[in-house]
Chain A
Amino acid sequence: MQKGEGYNNIRISKERQSLLKKYDIPIEFLSYEHIGKCKKPKELERIVRILRSGEEGVYPHLTSFAEERLTLVKPDSQILRVVKPIVSKSLLDPQERKELETDVDDWMQEMRLRERDLVDERMSVSEQPLPQPSIRTTIQSILNKSTAKMNSKTGKRISACDYIGWSKYDADTELNRMDLIEEQEKIAAKRFQEQQKVNRLKSRKETIIEKSLLTGTELSVMAMQEREKGNEAFRAKDYEEALQLYNTSIAMSCDINVYNNRAMTHIKLKNYEKAIDDCNSVLATDCMNLKALLRRGHAYEHLRKNTKALNDYDTVLRIDPMNQIALSAINKLRASDKLKTTRLIIEEIHEDENQ
């Protein structure tokens, strides 16, 4: 007999469907054999739900077995999410706790210094306010404008018994008319999107920075924000946008990391010359910067300046002999060089034979 079909359950199912019926899963599926073999994530989720509900009886081991199976089949399933209580500081192991505390304390000290700087600098800066865009002219808008357009077509409906009306009705012209409307709508839609794109391009960000009016702390904080925004745009593959943001950041304060990031953005945008310039700026301050060397090498490679590229990769290997990127790049360059030289030799022999 089916387990768990006791009096209680029958009463419940009269009021509302049991999960088993709702999901249409045969009771035989609630077994180790079936669950162990099941590969359908949806079905497993349902089985876990049924087992958890206890409607068919409580089987703790089978439930955990089904949950384990589900983690194998679909690790990110929503029903496997567990809410843990927040980790309190006292529960961390002593080492971790100490690290955390010193980290926060260091940060606090840094913030205190920065705050003091802000106050000191405020005294030193001229009272002249920052140039700001003008105040918006007062505007008002109404929220519940009825946006639903009146449909002109609905008024012209011919009633079923209006025979004269129907005899005048020409299906072909009507179809043509519908096509035409559809086409117009499509054109309008396209124009709408093009307009949006034009707007976006037209209103590029052009930031004029009056460095003299800003304090050092303000500039460095803003430059860091711009850099972070640039990094986000880069990760989202909006390289043009990232480039603009890095430009602003560099205009505010020169940081070699930003030059390095901009070099990578230039490489992605295939502006190899500019990438090399940025790498040079980094290397001018830090000649051992691995990232800059690797990026410059990469850019040289694309410009077919193989000797210069090899040079950069060699420098990288001198600093870090096990650098995988440099090693594979050198191998690739050497291989292509060999190919060229061998081809030349063959040609020479060929010519010799001809003679």
Chain B
Amino acid sequence: MDKLSKPQIISHIEKSVDYTIFDAKWIPCSAKFVIMGTRPRGTGIIQIYEVSSGNLSLIKTIDKPNPIKCGTFKASSLRTRYLATGDFKGKLQLYDLEKPSEPVYSANAHGEIINAIDGVAGDSIGCGAPEILTGSREGSVKVWDIRQKDQPVATMEPVVGGSRRDCWTVAFGNSYNCEERCVTAGFDNGDIKMFDLRMMTLKWETNLKNGVCCIEFDRRDVAMNKLVATTLESKLFLFDLRTQHPTKGFAYLTEKAHSSTIWLVRHLPQNREICATAGGNGSISLWKYEYPEKRYIEDAEGIQEGVIGSLKLLQQSTMSSQPVNSLDWSPDKLGLAVCTSFDQCVRVIITTKLNLQ
């Protein structure tokens, strides 16, 4: 009975490559994905693969001078499907995958490596302008609009002369109408900062006492609901963002998993209550959030305080002996995902019975 209702993670296709992969992303509205990384001689590479009858067929290889750390399609429309990438030299570039020799847009975004990139509002209407978010080792976080050349539309950086923390992860959220939008960044000292882009104020900040490896909102384009942050020493934090208490902040829960660094968290595009985390021991965990009876309580003065629900572990599988450094759920097929790990291997995995959850 238990076995029947539990989702199962199945390795569908495995393929080894001869370079180090940093990121993998599905191309929206297709059975193709791109993987980005660095060749042994220190140049960048982007490859496009297509899933076809139990195999992966290589469609295209694109060589670039600098190693590519991260990429996203989230800020491009279905019509263009441009890939935005961040590289080791701090360059932000936008490629048309049909004519990839020259970037459509290019900016010297940061002085050092771009660790994380995110996009918003590319394929939806009424969620504001499409924008790209980059976070770099130099400690700054920048927001880009590709209609504006060379200059970011918003910059958040440490004071001159102040301590600069390595920014490891960035995420867009709360973009539920044309004006509202939030940016969240996680730093190597455990800081999480959330900015309101409309008001350009710091909305919330906290410290998790441990390097923040990955942050993700459960959805970018709804009124902010949940946020998951993972840390260097095997902990994950889930915040309920609906109710902010003036002194206590957001209600949250923590879980210990993977018994090593939790490299990333990715919510299922088809169901925001389910997310996957990937760990340094090469394992993937599937979680499901369950809401509490009532999402907030009110004290005698009428001040609301959030109530956190519970997080259930659905499945846990070891995939590789090396850390899993990227995972992307297909936006077009429930349960299909591509993931890569440091063993230079791409895997297409299928998770069954997710619709029963």
Q: Is the CB of A229 within 8 A of B222?
A: yes
Q: Number of contact residues on B: which range applies?
A: 35 or more
Whole-angstrom CA separation of A96 from B245 in the bound complex: 49
A217 interface hit (Cβ, 8 Å)? yes
Q: Is the CB of A138 within 8 A of B154?
A: yes
A83-B316, A101-B54 known; A206+B126 contact, CB < 8 A? yes
A192 interface hit (Cβ, 8 Å)? yes
A122 interface hit (Cβ, 8 Å)? yes
Not counting A111-B31, A208-B126, a sample of 19 additional A-B residue pairs whose C-beta atoms are within 8 angstroms of each other reads A81-B316, A83-B283, A104-B12, A105-B53, A107-B31, A108-B51, A112-B30, A112-B31, A118-B29, A133-B129, A139-B153, A140-B155, A143-B139, A143-B141, A143-B158, A144-B158, A193-B244, A226-B124, A237-B291
Contacts of B333 in A (CB 8 A): 104, 107
Q: Which of B80-101 contact A (CB under 8 A)?
A: none
Which one of B16-24, B102-110, B173-181, B209-217 is at the A interface?
B173-181
Whole-angstrom CA separation of A130 from B163 in the bound complex: 43
Interface size on A, residues (CB 8 A): 72
Q: Is the CB of A241 within 8 A of B222?
A: yes
Q: How far is the CB of B357 from chain A (nearest CB, A)?
A: 11
Q: Is the CB of B256 within 8 A of A78?
A: yes
A338 interface hit (Cβ, 8 Å)? no
Q: Is the CB of B29 within 8 A of A87?
A: no
Whole-angstrom CA separation of A112 from B157 in the bound complex: 43
Our count of residue pairs bridging A and B at CB distance below 8 angstroms stands at: 204
Q: Is the CB of A140 within 8 A of B154?
A: yes
| Chain B positions near chain A (C-beta within 8 angstroms) | 8-12, 29-31, 50-54, 77-79, 123-126, 128-131, 139-141, 143, 145, 147-148, 151-159, 162-163, 176-180, 193, 195, 197, 200-202, 205, 219, 221-223, 225, 244-247, 256, 269-273, 283-284, 291, 301-304, 312-313, 316-319, 332-333, 336, 349-350, 352
Q: Is the CB of B221 within 8 A of A143?
A: no
A104-B350, A144-B163, A193-B303 known; A87+B176 contact, CB < 8 A? no
Q: Is the CB of A118 within 8 A of B79?
A: yes
Q: Is the CB of A189 within 8 A of B31?
A: no
Whole-angstrom CA separation of A217 from B141 in the bound complex: 34
Contacts of A140 in B (CB 8 A): 154-157
Q: How far is the CB of B288 from chain A (nearest CB, A)?
A: 12
Quick one: closest A residue to B12, CB to CB? A89
Contact residues of B: prevailing secondary structure = loop
Q: Which of A121-145 contact B (CB under 8 A)?
A: 122, 125, 130, 132-145
Which one of A40-48, A171-179, A197-205, A346-354 is at the B interface?
A197-205
Quick one: closest A residue to B283, CB to CB? A83
Q: Is the CB of A136 within 8 A of B54?
A: no
Q: Is the CB of A188 within 8 A of B246?
A: yes
Interchain CB contact (< 8 A) of A222 among B124, B157, B225 = B124
Q: How far is the CB of B137 from chain A (nearest CB, A)?
A: 14
Contacts of B201 in A (CB 8 A): 141
Q: Is the CB of B156 within 8 A of A141?
A: yes
A147 interface hit (Cβ, 8 Å)? yes
Whole-angstrom CA separation of A75 from B123 in the bound complex: 42
Interchain CB contact (< 8 A) of A118 among B12, B52, B78, B272 = B78
Contacts of A233 in B (CB 8 A): 222
Q: Is the CB of B273 within 8 A of A235?
A: yes
Q: Is the CB of A147 within 8 A of B222?
A: no
Q: Is the CB of B151 within 8 A of A138?
A: yes
A74-96 CB mask vs B (1 if < 8 Å, else 0) is 00101001111111110010000
